[in-house]
Amino acid sequence: MLRTLSFFLALLGLGLSEKVTFENHKVYRLLPETQEQVDLLHKMEDSVGFSFWKGPSYVNKSVDLMVTPSNLAEFTELMTLNGLKYEVYVDNVQRLIDTENPKTRSSSKDGSISLNEYHTLDEIYSYVEYLAKNYKEVEVVDAGRTSEGRVIKGVKISYQEGNPGIFIEAGIHAREWITPATALYLLDQLLNSTDKNIRALAEKHDWYIFPSFNPDGYVYTHSKNRMWRKTRSHKNTFCAGADANRNWDFKWMSGGASNYPCAETYAGSSAFSEPETKSMAKYIKSVGNKLFAYISFHSYSQLLMFPYGHTSAHLDNYNEELSIGKKTIEALRQRYGTKYVTGNIAETIYVASGSSSDWVKANLKLPVVFTYEFRDTGKYGFLLPADQIIPNGEEILDSLLAMFQEASRLGYPNSA
């Protein structure tokens, strides 16, 4: 058994204690042009040595795949045999990891934080406590526990209790570091901006902002494996964790999720098998009647999507969400020219079931539910350099202003 275990660990590039290196791991962009090629890529999702940065969906939709040096020969053979076109997007993943954060990190004694670098979970949580200490509008929310026993901490900002609520979730996928960083940027702006539009947005709503829905995974991306996506539960033999955004109890395992425990999109042993999703669902429900909007942050691909992911059918208030989506991405583009695409999840990216946004839409019937996939379109992928945190944050805030303006024009929330 031990031998099998270490064999698999070796395959996964995991020593028992040291940090995983991604030296000479490459990311390829592939373009499947037939359904057979799409099917082949789906099969590769369940095999060791290949890690999808952007999974397969439809014919003529590109796919990003990270390949280890030891799997390179097999990869090129598979591509050639099946006539799949590919090009290198990232030549050496480790080089991007090494240059992602500034060389000199700032240090803080009081818990305040610099917004143009990526932070550890401890730093994020100290910042959250710092905000609660320094702003009377801020309250720290303890919304649950992870499988390793960490607290899932959020921030509630309320200038006037009873304002229509907006919930923002970041970091459900551990390696998408730009998402917690952007949540921190928003917290700062909602509390400190002097721009009158931002002030009005901040003060007219109650904000529930969670920088990390997956603290165990996030810690693991710092301590062991920068490219970790899932939770860190240990329910099966050798592959830890489940995809926390395939684990929610709405149309669970009905497409775009895997029942293979080692796959990046493993849906878990059952719906809400992960303590993170189970406790967050409970918390979200407990404040559900105060909310009209739920926003989840992901990276990358520059998309703004709305439910549903399990079907491409145009359900609920599809037309209104599309109208809000269009206004939102138009506003987002103004500042830096960053182009997003909007549409429902299944049509815009791929079929994916068991996501938090589908669950929220179906259970709480909120009119405004969106999922962002932030910068970029693949040059850096999950390893967006820290000097893009603030520009990304600025354009996202521009877009949120437009989102809630258009929502309001459509009568959401009804009480406003």
8 A C-beta contact, residue 117 and residue 180: no
Number of C-alpha atoms within 13 angstroms, CB side, residue 112?
Answer: 5
8 A C-beta contact, residue 371 and residue 300: no
8 A C-beta contact, residue 233 and residue 273: yes
To Zn ion, the closest distance from the beta carbon of 181 in angstroms equals 14
Query: What does DSSP assign to residue 357?
Result: H
Of the two residues 25 and 173, which places its CB atom closer to Zn ion in the complex? 173
8 A C-beta contact, residue 155 and residue 187: yes
Of the two residues 66 and 198, which places its CB atom closer to Zn ion in the complex? 66
To Zn ion, the closest distance from the beta carbon of 52 in angstroms equals 12
| Radius of gyration of the chain measured on its C-alpha atoms | 21
Interacting residues toward Zn ion by CB under 5 A:
173, 298
Of the two residues 169 and 347, which places its CB atom closer to Zn ion in the complex? 169
To Zn ion, the closest distance from the beta carbon of 256 in angstroms equals 13
To Zn ion, the closest distance from the beta carbon of 247 in angstroms equals 13
Question: Would you call 404 helix, strand, or coil by DSSP?
Answer: helix
To Zn ion, the closest distance from the beta carbon of 88 in angstroms equals 23
Question: Would you call 94 helix, strand, or coil by DSSP?
Answer: helix
Of the two residues 246 and 298, which places its CB atom closer to Zn ion in the complex? 298
Residue in the block written with tokens 């305040």? 112
Q: What type of residue sits at position 119?
A: H
Of the two residues 245 and 338, which places its CB atom closer to Zn ion in the complex? 245
Sign of torsion over alpha carbons 233, 236, 238, 241: negative
8 A C-beta contact, residue 230 and residue 241: yes
8 A C-beta contact, residue 398 and residue 319: no
User: What Cα–Cα distance (Å) separates residue 344 from each residue in 120, 297, 348, 363?
Assistant: 32, 15, 6, 18
To Zn ion, the closest distance from the beta carbon of 173 in angstroms equals 3
8 A C-beta contact, residue 332 and residue 398: yes
Indicate which residues carry an active-site annotation.
373
8 A C-beta contact, residue 175 and residue 221: yes
Of the two residues 37 and 225, which places its CB atom closer to Zn ion in the complex? 225
